[in-house]
Structure 1
Amino acid sequence: MIELQHRATPTELLSEFVAANPQLTPADFSSVAFQPVKRQVKADLNADQGGLCVYCEKPLGPNEGQIDHIKPKDGPHGHPHLCFSYVNYAHSCINPKTCGQQKKSGLLPIEPQPGCNAEWMLSTDGTIMPIAGLSRQRRHAVVQTRDMLGLNKDANLVDERKRWLASVLAIGQAQPQDMLLFLQTAPYRHILATVLL
């Protein structure tokens, strides 16, 4: 998961839209009037996230995917007051098995933010697992977050992470001085970094 740090100044079009429409509801998020704002927000989130899906870390273009509400805008865990808050947005891929499509309106125990990867690791088989030594409560939070996002559910995603892990380990053995540079541009770089810490 990306250790997401939103830009200090939200998308200007978003701020202008919210200021001009003080009575917004979650239904307005899908309105025709909001579509140009949504495109710009998605591009800004893509830049904030280094061109990766916030949850699975697959490469994602600025016009691809969807804007996911980290805290859902509606449903049983809804936070409608955060529906138009930039810091509650993340750029997510569209895959029915994973990420925002799998999470739906669930409330994640672990959200994409600095330090979010501290309690899980990438196994050599490409699966994401809780680190050893966690309390039962923390282990449950890690497993629940991973499973809510379907991060081990898509076999292609698991296989791709396994291949990238093999590449990282090979570079670490052959050219350890190039490891940091490689990780700065690799997909899955946040979860791959858990293997090297």
Structure 2
Amino acid sequence: MVELQHREIPTPALTVFVALHPGIGVPDFDSLGFQPVKTAVKADLNQDQGGLCVYCESKLKSSKGQVEHIKPKAGPNAHPHLCFTYTNYAHSCINPKTCGQKKNNGLLPIEPGPGCNADWTLSTAGTIEPIVGLNRNRMHQVHQTRDMLGLNKDSNLVDERRRWLKSAVAVLAQAPNDLPSFLLNAPFRHILATSI
């Protein structure tokens, strides 16, 4: 998961839109008038996330994917007051098996942010697993977050992570000084860093 740190100044178009529409609500998020703002927000989030999907860490172009509400805007876990809050947004890929589409209106026990990868690691098989030694409650949170996002359910995603881990290990063995540069440009860089 991307250790997301939002920019200090939110997308200016979002700030302006919210100021001009004081009575906006959840339905306005999908309105035609908000679409240009959403496009600008998505581009900024993509930059904040280093061009990766916030959840699976696959490469993601700024023109693709969706603006994801970390805390859902609707459903049983709704936080409608955060619908137009930049720090509640993330850029997520669109895959019915994983990420924001799989999470739907669920509330994640572990959200993307600094330190979010502290309790899991990438196995040599490419699966995301809890680290050894977690207490029962934290182990449950790790499993629940991973499973809510479907991070081990898409075999293509698992295989791709396994290949990148194998490449990272090869770089580490052959040219250890090149590893930081390799990770800087690699997809899955946050989860890869937990294993190396």
Shorter-normalised TM range: over 0.9
Which letter maps to 1:195? Answer: S
- Is 1:67 equivalent to 2:93 in the alignment? no
Structure 2 residue matching 1:91: 3-state secondary structure:
strand
- Is 1:110 equivalent to 2:115 in the alignment? no
Structure 1 residue matching 2:111: 3-state secondary structure:
coil
Deviation at 1:193, TM superposition (A): 0.1
For residues 55 and 83 of structure 1, the distance between their equivalents in structure 2, rounded to whole angstroms, comes to: 19
Structure 2 residue matching 1:195: 3-state secondary structure:
coil
Structure 2 residue matching 1:53: 3-state secondary structure:
coil
Structure 2 unaligned residues grouped into runs of 5+: none
Deviation at 1:50, TM superposition (A): 0.4
Q: State the partner residue of 1:36.
A: 36
Q: State the partner residue of 2:174.
A: 174
Which letter maps to 1:116? Answer: C
1:13-162 paired onto structure 2 within 5 Å:
13-162=13-162
Deviation at 1:13, TM superposition (A): 0.3
Deviation at 1:75, TM superposition (A): 0.6
Tell me the matched-pair count.
196
When the two chains are superposed, the root-mean-square deviation of aligned CA atoms in Å is 0.3
TM-score (norm 2): 1.00
For residues 34 and 40 of structure 2, the distance between their equivalents in structure 1, rounded to whole angstroms, comes to: 10
Identity across the alignment (%)? 66
Deviation string for 1:171-192 (max 9, x for gaps)? 0000001001100110000000
Deviation string for 1:1-53 (max 9, x for gaps)? 00000000000000000000011110000000000000000000000000000
Deviation string for 1:143-162 (max 9, x for gaps)? 00000000000000000000
Which letter maps to 1:81? Answer: H
For residues 185 and 171 of structure 2, the distance between their equivalents in structure 1, rounded to whole angstroms, comes to: 14
Structure 1 residue matching 2:72: 3-state secondary structure:
coil
Deviation at 1:117, TM superposition (A): 0.1
For residues 77 and 151 of structure 2, the distance between their equivalents in structure 1, rounded to whole angstroms, comes to: 21
Which letter maps to 2:93? Answer: C
Structure 1 unaligned residues grouped into runs of 5+: none
Deviation string for 1:120-161 (max 9, x for gaps)? 000000000000000000000000000000000000000000
For residues 177 and 14 of structure 1, the distance between their equivalents in structure 2, rounded to whole angstroms, comes to: 41
> Displaced runs of 4+ in structure 1, greater than 4 A?
none
For residues 24 and 105 of structure 2, the distance between their equivalents in structure 1, rounded to whole angstroms, comes to: 19
For residues 33 and 64 of structure 1, the distance between their equivalents in structure 2, rounded to whole angstroms, comes to: 19
